[in-house]
Chains A and B, each alone.
Chain A
C-alpha cells in the first residue's frame, strides 16, 4: 500500500484501521509496520475528526416514541384480527348464528308473559354458552 492510498483510506474511514474496509486492513497494518511515524501522523489526524463526529447530538428514542411504534405493530392490534375474523367465514357463521339467536329471542319475548322465570334464565344461559357474547364484544 502506498502512502497516498493509506492517507486516502484514513481520510475516508477514520483513524481506526479496524473500521476500514476488510480487504484493505492487512495492507494497512503492513504499511503501519513499515512506516510507523508517517502512519501514526495520518491516523492521529483522522482520529481527531472521528472525535469531532462523535461529539454530535446522538438522540435516543423516548419511551413515548417506542411505545407508539410498538402499539402499531400487528400483534398489538387484536381488533384487526377480530375484524378480519368477522369479515371471513367465522364472521359469516357468527352472523347466521346471531340471526338465529335474534329469532329465538323474539320468541322468548313473546312468551315471557306466560313462561316461568326459571325457564327464561335457562334459555338465556344457553344462548350465552354458545359463545355469542364473544362475537359481540367479548374478550376473545
Chain B
C-alpha cells in the first residue's frame, strides 16, 4: 500500500541538496518537532537537542528516502518520539536533583500574570500526565495526527488510543478544574 505524502517532493529535493528545499523543510517541520519534544520532555533545552538530532537524521535519510511506504512526517515523529523516550528512560535511571529549568518562551511580558499562570499550570499538568497519556494527547491534539497514524506510532489499537486520550484529557481537566471557572 502506498501513502499520499504531501512532503514527498520536498524530501526528494532535500535529498538532492537543494538549499531552498532544506530551508522549506526546516520551516515546515522544525516547529512541529520542537513542540513535540518540548511537550513530551517539558524541558526547553532537551527539546532543542532532540529537534537538532531529528534533523541530523533527516539529512542522512533524505537522499535514500523511498516514497510510498510511509509519510516523511510520520517518520520524523517516530524518530522524535524514540529520542524523547530515550531521554525519559535516562531520567528514570538517573533522577535529577532539581527539576529541569524552564525557559520562558511564552507571550510577551505585557500579558497579564493570570495568562502566564494559566499557561504555566497547563504546561505543568501536561508534563505530569503518565507518559502514554501525554503522548496520546500530544500526538492527537497538538500534532493533529489522525487516529490510525497516532495509534500506529504508539503501537496500540485505535480503541486503546481513544482510551488514553480520554483518560489524559480527564486528568488534565481534574488537575485544572479551578481554571475553568
Interface magnitude class on chain B: 35 or more
A-contacting 9-mer, from B3-11, B70-78, B83-91, B164-172: B164-172
| Interface membership of A68, Cβ < 8 A | yes
Contacts of B35 in A (CB 8 A): 58-59
Q: Is the CB–CB distance between A59 and B176 below 8 Å?
A: no
Give the docked Cα–Cα distance between A11 and B176 (Å): 16
Give the complex CA separation of A59 and B14 in angstroms: 25
Shortest distance from the beta carbon of A88 to any chain B beta carbon, whole Å: 17
B100 to chain A, nearest CB (A): 13
A15–chain B nearest beta-carbon distance, Å: 11
- CB-defined contacts of A66 to chain B, threshold 8 Å: 26-27, 30
Count of inter-chain pairs, beta carbons less than 8 A: 111
Looking at chain B's contact residues, the main secondary structure is helix
**CB contact between A11 and one of B105, B146, B147, B170 (< 8 Å): that residue:** B170
Q: What separation, in Å, do the CA atoms of A140 and B72 have in the docked complex?
A: 33
Collect the chain B residues with CB atoms within 8 Å of residue A50's CB: 141
Chain B residue contacts of A14, Cβ below 8 A: 141, 169
CA–CA, A115 and B7, complex, Å: 65
CA distance A84 to B51 in the complex (A): 28
Task: Name A75's contact: one of B18, B142, B146 (CB within 8 Å).
Answer: B18
A70 to B26, alpha carbons, bound, how many Å? Answer: 7
Q: Which of B7-43 contact A (CB under 8 A)?
A: 14, 17-19, 22-23, 26-27, 30-31, 34-35, 38-39
Chain A residues proximal to chain B, CB less than 8 Å: 8-9, 11-14, 19, 21-22, 46, 48-50, 52-53, 55-61, 65-66, 68-70, 72-76
